[in-house]
Structure 1
């Protein structure tokens, strides 16, 4: 069992090196898309209520998570057919992964040291509302506000990468990398989580004037809170449960009353039907 796990994990990490675009190249992206685009879309239809229309293997996307699952399954199946005594395969896998890790941490470490990553936010970023920023840009901008911290992190990454190149210091290097990456994790965002500005409010098919809209913004919190912001900036919040297949939210107020809201999602735009909500409130 131990030998099987060693082979499976070794193959898995090698497959990650080959197919996951840690360092982006057009050829690698093309190969990964050609091999895994269709399987990822198929799994997306099984695991998620909404199909994945845009396949993006970068950052913490659902596509990347499904790709990791496929690579793990592929490695596990392949390891079954490898003969028991194959120390050369395990050694080769470890060597490839170690040197690739060293390369990646050297690259990103020097990028941080010389300001090529996590650079100072540009003026247009600073004037962009917080909720409109892409999560990657937001993280980069936050890190970029502290150049000293970015440089320090980059130097530690460079040291960790250099320690990997020697057998005597490899364990220390791996421990450093574990510390550096302990704060990075994958998270699949909730279906509706976000902040939404009310651009249009329709009553009986008639678009009302902006000053007559009872709601200015809608916030959907990942902890399942649905928050309405009035034009006077007062907040009314509800706890909600979601039926993504029916595209319906059930809001529960602090007094225990419940309201149902139907919605439609078109890209980054949400259309809510508040008719049931207002009728329940009467």
Structure 2
């Protein structure tokens, strides 16, 4: 391989040190946090990350001396104690590695070729991550419409993250807007001619995501911050062009788009073909996965048995009919069945219980198992009668229970029926 472009002067000492630090930090972070940016990368990651599931808890216990053991690893949250200790390890290794690298390679004039490949790695990681998230917004699998439970939940009882998810999930149009913005940034970053504009769009998009994550306590703060840093890193490659064009009103000459090449042309052509096949394959795989996610998690996900909101009209416990007293913690007020095998019970005193559903359509029964309190158990036979009415009879918390339920139409709620109005004679801020 030969280098296509070598400047007359070498790099400054500061630039070489910053490059070494950036190279080590980004490569280590992507290795330890691939975030599914490549097909099957998470499956491979699960294999080689296992030693770190032992190392990181050891660091937490013996070096950081945390007051609690690290037992939870990366899950739906990317901000676990484990994740932050991993980040600390990455920063530490990058700093030590940078010092060692600077000592043994201090005579090198520049790292032009290695910088090119670091840019490729960073922009592909950033691009494919944005494309994945963009597709998740277009199919509304990331922000589905508020669930039946969320529609009846008071603002005060929701977490900041749930409030953000409700806001973002309500509007299909806003999901499309966010999704197209992320897809645009990702697609622009895949090609050298559009790296700069892609990095600008990516910085705007990722900075907005990072702000939401920090301000609404969304548990993806670390990843969104890294994506912002990567966007800034890509923009810094042409900082003089940006300074002259955007701020100093000076002439900007076209930037060199040369790249390392092989002497044999057929190798370069083969690499070019491989690049486009790779891009088409990854995007096709992402679209295929998005369709599956939409049918499993988005607005198109199937509705389970008894899906909806039910008001409890009568409640008989151990042959004793309980009146609907607002202070009663033994009587159900509402039974809410959502997607993903979950349901909730609102008691008369406004306390709540959350369950995993276990439907048995053959025997017309539904079992409930507590999520937060595993001692909560219920098993009911169900019978439909009349319009939107259900009879549940069985056992709950060791007692015999029989209740009649009447469905509540969530489409009658203002949030669902209001829709879009181009003309508003008065503010409608209720």
Q: TM-score, normalised by structure 1?
A: 0.58
Q: Residues 106 and 158 of structure 1 are in contact (CA less than 8 Å); yes or no, is this contact kept in structure 2?
A: yes
Distance across 1 between alignment mates of 2:159 and 2:121: 33
Root-mean-square deviation (CA), in Å? 3.5
Unaligned stretches of 5+ residues in structure 1:
190-210, 212-231, 234-267, 270-282
1:153 CA displacement: 0.7
> Partner of 1:116: helix, strand, or coil?
coil
Q: Residues 35 and 42 of structure 2 are in contact (CA less than 8 Å); yes or no, is this contact kept in structure 1?
A: no
User: Is 1:76 aligned to 2:95, yes or no?
Assistant: yes
Distance of aligned partners of 1:44 and 1:127 in 2 relative to their CA distance in 1, 3 Å threshold: farther
Distance across 2 between alignment mates of 1:41 and 1:131: 36
1:128 CA displacement: 5.5
Distance of aligned partners of 1:68 and 1:153 in 2 relative to their CA distance in 1, 3 Å threshold: same
2:15 alignment counterpart: 2
The Cα offsets for residues 50-95 of structure 1, whole Å up to 9 and x where unpaired, read as 3322222642222212111111222222333442434333322221
Q: Residues 7 and 90 of structure 1 are in contact (CA less than 8 Å); yes or no, is this contact kept in structure 2?
A: no
Find the structure with the greater CA-based Rg: 2
1:21 CA displacement: 4.2
1:95 alignment counterpart: 120
How many residues are matched?
Answer: 196
1:59 alignment counterpart: 78
Distance across 1 between alignment mates of 2:88 and 2:176: 34
> Partner of 2:193: helix, strand, or coil?
coil
| Over 6 Å off, 4+ runs | 129-135
> Partner of 2:192: helix, strand, or coil?
coil
1:144 CA displacement: 0.6
User: Is 1:25 aligned to 2:42, yes or no?
Assistant: yes
The Cα offsets for residues 116-153 of structure 1, whole Å up to 9 and x where unpaired, read as 32121222444467677677665433321122211101
Q: Residues 131 and 182 of structure 2 are in contact (CA less than 8 Å); yes or no, is this contact kept in structure 1?
A: yes
Unaligned stretches of 5+ residues in structure 2:
1-13, 218-326, 328-348, 351-371, 374-430
Distance of aligned partners of 1:21 and 1:148 in 2 relative to their CA distance in 1, 3 Å threshold: same
1:44 alignment counterpart: 60
Instruction: Identify which of structures 1 and 2 has the higher relative contact order when contacts are C-alpha pairs closer than 8 Å and 6+ apart.
Output: 2
Distance across 2 between alignment mates of 1:18 and 1:172: 27
Distance of aligned partners of 1:151 and 1:128 in 2 relative to their CA distance in 1, 3 Å threshold: same
> Partner of 1:38: helix, strand, or coil?
helix
1:219 alignment counterpart: none
